[in-house]
């Protein structure tokens, strides 16, 4: 009996010892955990790791193992599916999916991770402006401006502080378009924001999102209503560093200290015709630039970007065009995003009320209503696509429109959802020539070619303009009108449609009616430099045929020699066309110069309805002071 009591007491003592030891161990663990929380938990990196882990758990959890009711199971399945869809869509540039993911990140941090007023500034030192980096300050500025201006935030910021001006930077002998870290620091100081907890946490959420699923430092910039954004197009590529290191070690040290920009420090925006470098933003590392390049083009699975296929041209979900290049095709990873604001693509918006622009807009409308074959020429970034989108508005509703593009840019069905419009584009297996061949069989009245960039497309465009459609609109990079004719002629020759230069040129000038040439000046201003009419020169039969009536052999030979001389003169110095400017940009205003030829006037009137034809006659009389001398059938 005594032995049993001793054994019971021993068991109780051992159990008590184990319990005390367990409690003490847990307390030590809690203390250690508390230390970890205080020191490391609220950094951006730790919070991003938590977000990644939780997102992974939410999307991969097996809901059937949780023993949920049927209603709860259905609700959780829908939530899981919606999150998976959003996580995929936000990488394609879908702003709605991005908003959904950011809201979830906000909830995870505030409700599960314990971010509150006391620790929110441990990730980004909002309360000590001197410790904020220019990127931190820019993130705050964009967030606060977005609350008032939405996607016009960056435009408003640039306009308010006149950031899109030429300026000299330290170490540069020539002015350039650049926004410097010093300017961002000054603007932040002037704005002097008093941020709430919600503001601070939203800035942190955006920073985590752009590293997790977004496009790094350009994530918010890409969403803004600007003309475009690019990266990796300046600075020192990593591949060059090993070459320079052998000859100049001091230069390498400057690169490592970020005194010399690297390729991953290269972020540029295209704003109102100007390429502006954002010197205060950086991807941080070459690996981050590479990650952005590998993700930004993935919408609709365009194929893999690889060393053997070193570039990709695609569109994003919001309609932006994206071009991505990589080594060894290019010296470094780089991308180019071009945005087209369909809401602003009207002729009135393009000209913005300059002197003489009202008459110019009327002229452009009549050229389209008159079914003229029109080329829009100019350098890259001068507004050709925007001008083309504005002109399409004036095509009669009864005409079916067929579009051929390298990548979807015009998005005409977004602007005109009730019209008969179908767009084709080139793919890896279908060339532009094949796409244009298909167009012939789709009952189209108007052919629109986003860019005549290859010989087969140029050749087909000339052929189609002759027989396959009522008229054609296209863009080209020619600098002058003779250059345009020569380029189209050479395309016809290279594709083997013609073998004789003169014959090929005759076909081009017989089709081409007008050229609208756009220019971008040094300050980024875009305007119509000229509108040129092409007038084919008719071959007049002025040979002398009276040699038969000559009495002497000598006089017969003289007449024959005259005809022979005329023939060879025409063949060697034959003028196939003349071109005249009917509008020019002179001293900051649009000026009407030469009147449209009677041949084009008559054909234009034939293609207009009665109301437009009457208005067009009045327009010609008002501008050039002459009545239209051509009469149509049935007119007196």
| Out of 29-43, 273-287, 372-386, least confident range | 29-43
Q: What is the pLDDT of residue 240?
A: 62
CA-atom Rg of the chain in angstroms: 34
Query: What average pLDDT does this structure show over 334-338?
Result: 93
Question: What's the CA gap between 133 and 124, in Å, rounded?
Answer: 9
Q: For residue 144, is pLDDT > 90?
A: yes
Ordered by start, the domain boundaries in the chain are: 1-38, 123-339, 356-539+574-594
Closest CA to 40 of 142, 125, 122, 149: 122
Q: Which one has a higher pLDDT value, 256 or 581?
A: 581
Tell me how long the chain is: 636
Q: What is the pLDDT of residue 140?
A: 95
- Per-residue pLDDT reduced to its tens digit, 403-423: 888 777 777 888 888 889 998
- Per-residue pLDDT reduced to its tens digit, 551-596: 676 776 677 777 677 666 666 666 788 899 999 999 889 999 999 9
Q: What is the pLDDT of residue 429?
A: 81
Give the mean pLDDT of the chain.
83
Closest CA to 409 of 315, 325, 537: 315
User: Span 123-339: which CATH code?
Assistant: 3.30.450.90
Q: For residue 516, is pLDDT > 90?
A: yes
- Which helix or strand (DSSP H or E) is residue 531 part of? strand 526-536
**CATH 3.20.20.390 corresponds to the domain 356-539+574-594:** no
pTM of the model: 0.74
Q: For residue 23, is pLDDT > 60?
A: no
Question: What's the CA gap between 194 and 53, in Å, rounded?
Answer: 33
- Per-residue pLDDT reduced to its tens digit, 197-219: 999 999 999 999 999 999 999 99
Q: What is the pLDDT of residue 444?
A: 83
- Per-residue pLDDT reduced to its tens digit, 427-467: 778 877 787 778 777 888 888 888 887 888 888 788 777 77
Tokens at 613, concatenated = 């034809």
């Amino acid at each position: 009996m005594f032995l049993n009591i001793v054994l019971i007491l021993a068991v109780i003592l051992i159990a008590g010892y184990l319990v005390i030891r367990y409690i003490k161990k847990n307390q030590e663990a809690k203390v250690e955990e508390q230390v970890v929380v205080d020191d490391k938990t609220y950094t951006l990196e730790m919070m991003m790791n938590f977000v990644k882990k939780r997102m992974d758990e939410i999307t991969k959890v097996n809901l059937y193992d949780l023993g949920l009711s049927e209603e709860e199971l259905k609700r959780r399945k829908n939530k899981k599916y919606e999150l998976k869809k959003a996580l995929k869509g936000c990488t394609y540039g879908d702003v709605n999916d991005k908003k959904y993911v950011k809201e979830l990140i906000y909830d995870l941090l505030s409700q599960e991770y314990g971010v509150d007023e006391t620790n929110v500034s441990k990730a980004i030192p909002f309360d000590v402006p001197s410790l904020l980096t220019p990127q931190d300050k820019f993130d705050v500025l964009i967030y606060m401006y977005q609350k008032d201006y939405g996607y016009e935030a960056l435009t408003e910021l640039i306009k308010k502080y006149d950031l899109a001006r030429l300026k000299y930077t330290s170490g540069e002998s020539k002015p350039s378009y650049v926004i410097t870290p010093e300017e961002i620091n000054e603007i932040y100081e002037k704005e002097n924001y008093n941020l709430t907890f919600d503001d601070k946490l939203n800035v942190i959420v955006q920073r985590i999102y752009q590293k997790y699923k977004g496009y790094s430092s350009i994530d918010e910039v890409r969403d803004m209503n600007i003309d475009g954004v690019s990266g990796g197009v300046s600075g020192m590529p990593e591949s060059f560093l090993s070459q320079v290191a052998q000859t100049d070690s001091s230069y390498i040290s400057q690169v490592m200290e970020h005194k010399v920009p690297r390729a991953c420090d290269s972020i540029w925006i295209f704003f109102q015709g100007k390429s502006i470098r954002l010197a205060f933003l950086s991807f941080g590392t070459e690996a981050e630039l590479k990650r952005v390049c590998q993700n930004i083009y993935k919408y609709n699975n365009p194929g893999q970007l690889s060393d053997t296929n070193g570039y990709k041209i695609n569109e994003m979900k919001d309609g932006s065009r994206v071009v991505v290049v990589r080594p060894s095709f290019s010296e470094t990873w780089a991308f180019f995003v071009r945005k087209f604001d369909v809401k602003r693509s009207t002729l009135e918006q393009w000209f913005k009320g300059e002197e003489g622009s009202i008459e110019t807009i009327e002229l452009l409308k009549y050229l389209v209503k008159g079914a003229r074959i029109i080329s829009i020429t100019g350098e890259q970034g001068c507004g050709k696509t925007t001008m083309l989108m504005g002109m399409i508005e004036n095509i009669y509703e009864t005409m079916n429109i067929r579009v051929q593009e390298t990548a979807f840019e015009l998005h005409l069905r977004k602007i005109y959802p009730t019209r008969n419009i179908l767009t084709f584009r080139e793919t890896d297996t279908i060339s532009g020539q094949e796409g244009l061949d298909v167009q012939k069989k789709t009952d189209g009245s108007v052919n629109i070619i986003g860019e005549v960039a290859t010989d087969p497309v140029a050749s087909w465009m000339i052929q189609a303009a002759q027989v396959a459609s009522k008229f054609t609109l296209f863009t080209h990079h020619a600098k002058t009108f003779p250059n345009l004719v020569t380029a189209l002629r050479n395309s016809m020759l290279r594709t083997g449609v013609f073998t004789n230069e003169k014959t090929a040129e005759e076909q081009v000038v017989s089709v081409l009616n007008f050229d609208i040439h756009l220019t971008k000046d040094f300050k980024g201003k875009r305007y119509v430099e000229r509108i040129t009419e092409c007038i084919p020169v008719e071959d007049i039969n002025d040979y002398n045929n009276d040699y038969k009536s000559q009495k002497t052999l000598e006089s017969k030979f003289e007449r024959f020699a005259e005809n022979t001389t005329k023939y060879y003169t025409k063949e060697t110095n034959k003028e196939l066309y003349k071109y005249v400017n009917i509008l020019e940009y002179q001293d900051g205003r649009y000026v009407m110069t030469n009147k449209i030829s009677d041949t084009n006037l008559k054909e234009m009137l034939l293609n207009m309805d009665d109301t437009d034809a009457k208005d067009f006659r009045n327009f010609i009389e008002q501008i050039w002071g002459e009545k239209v001398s051509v009469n149509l059938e049935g007119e007196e």
